Amino acid sequence: MKIAVCIKQVPTREWQPRLTDDKRGIREQDASWELNEPDAYALEEGLRLKEKHGGEVVVCAAGPARVTSVIREALARGADRAIHVQDAALGRADGIATADALAGAMREEAFDLILTGLQSDDQGHAQTGVVLAARLGRPHATIIMEVQVADGRLRVKRELEGGWFQWVAMALPAVLTIQSGINQLRYATLKGIMASKKKEVRVVAPASPVTPRLEVLSLYVPEKTKRTEILAGSASEAAATLVRKLREDARVIA
């Protein structure tokens, strides 16, 4: 199987965001970066499918030059080669612009299966995978918890709401967005890190100008506030008041 895995570089979760002067983005020069966690699960699933069915895994990323670090990490984990659609404008691109850039570079590869993470940890729109499927004219399924391949077809398990699941049969080629927790992640070994330095990373420019459909008007860091309130009355009265406030005000209990 010829498998593509789309990955994204996102700010690390521990980094405290610092905003630009116009409050429309983060100060990228101050940020620390990592591989988007849902994409890491997609990569692991691609590697497992390759180990079971043969073929190759190609990681595909869209973004500025700094994205090279997560591409090399994916290669160190076991991917065979990479495609990097490189443009500075892709650093703040929305899901549609990112999918357009990826589709232009991936179309000629004729992948049997394309995997993406369900969503990104920074924007969380869950759009790139489904838009990519539309651009490439491929069937797709989302929130995948299990992937089975047999006789040139897919059988996938989707996670629904309320603890329900759905099995879907699909033809190849197809696009799947992978749910975090589908598998146990592997990490790069020293041997893998050394081998990654010799693997091909094809750098290409976007086939068309990057034109985001989403405009960020303003960002802000949520303010943390603390308020103490003394509940009057007897113990039973205070308990009843507390329960009411938790239910009606905080809405943390039903």
Both 14 and 134 in one domain: the answer is: yes
Of 77-86, 145-154, 221-230, where does mean pLDDT reach its minimum? Answer: 221-230
| Total of domains in the chain | 2
Q: How far apart, in whole angstroms, are the C-alpha atoms of residue 1 and residue 49?
A: 8
Residue 152 binned pLDDT confidence (cut-offs 50, 70, 90): confident
Q: For 224, which DSSP code?
A: P
Both 57 and 112 in one domain: the answer is: yes
Residue 220 binned pLDDT confidence (cut-offs 50, 70, 90): confident
Both 173 and 234 in one domain: the answer is: no
Q: For residues 146 and 31, which has the higher predicted lDDT (pLDDT)?
A: 146
For residue 175, give the CATH number of its domain: 3.40.50.620
Q: What average pLDDT does this structure show over 194-213?
A: 92
Both 60 and 165 in one domain: the answer is: yes
Q: What average pLDDT does this structure show over 112-124?
A: 93
pLDDT score at 77: 96
Query: Which domain, by its residues, includes 236?
Result: 224-254
Both 145 and 241 in one domain: the answer is: no
Burial label for 29, CB within 10 Å (0-12, 13-18, 19+), is exposed
pLDDT score at 183: 95
The closest of 113, 140, 145, 144 to 129, measured between CA atoms, is: 140
Q: CB–CB of 7/60 below 8 Å?
A: yes
Residue percentage of the chain with pLDDT more than 90: 69
Question: Is 229 a member of any domain?
Answer: yes
Strands (E), the chain: 2-7, 9-11, 33-35, 56-63, 81-86, 113-117, 140-150, 153-159, 165-171, 174-178, 201-204
Question: Is 17 a member of any domain?
Answer: yes
Both 152 and 121 in one domain: the answer is: yes
Decide if pLDDT at 254 tops 80.
no
Q: What's the mean pLDDT when you consider all of the chain? A: 92
Both 173 and 244 in one domain: the answer is: no
Question: Is 254 a member of any domain?
Answer: yes
Both 135 and 244 in one domain: the answer is: no
Both 60 and 179 in one domain: the answer is: yes
Question: Is 161 a member of any domain?
Answer: yes
Both 54 and 128 in one domain: the answer is: yes
Which residues, 6 or more positions from 238, have their beta carbon under 8 angstroms from its beta carbon?
231, 232
Both 12 and 118 in one domain: the answer is: yes
Q: For residues 235 and 224, which has the higher predicted lDDT (pLDDT)?
A: 235
Both 126 and 241 in one domain: the answer is: no
As given in the structure block, the two tokens for residue 21 are 């002067």
pLDDT score at 15: 83
Question: Is 215 a member of any domain?
Answer: no
Which residues, 6 or more positions from 161, have their beta carbon under 8 angstroms from its beta carbon?
none
What are the tens digits of pLDDT across the range 160-199?
988 899 999 999 999 999 999 999 999 999 999 999 999 9
pLDDT score at 168: 95
pLDDT score at 48: 97
Question: Is 101 a member of any domain?
Answer: yes
Decide if pLDDT at 30 tops 90.
no
User: Tokens 């086939």 map to which residue?
Assistant: 207
Question: Is 194 a member of any domain?
Answer: yes
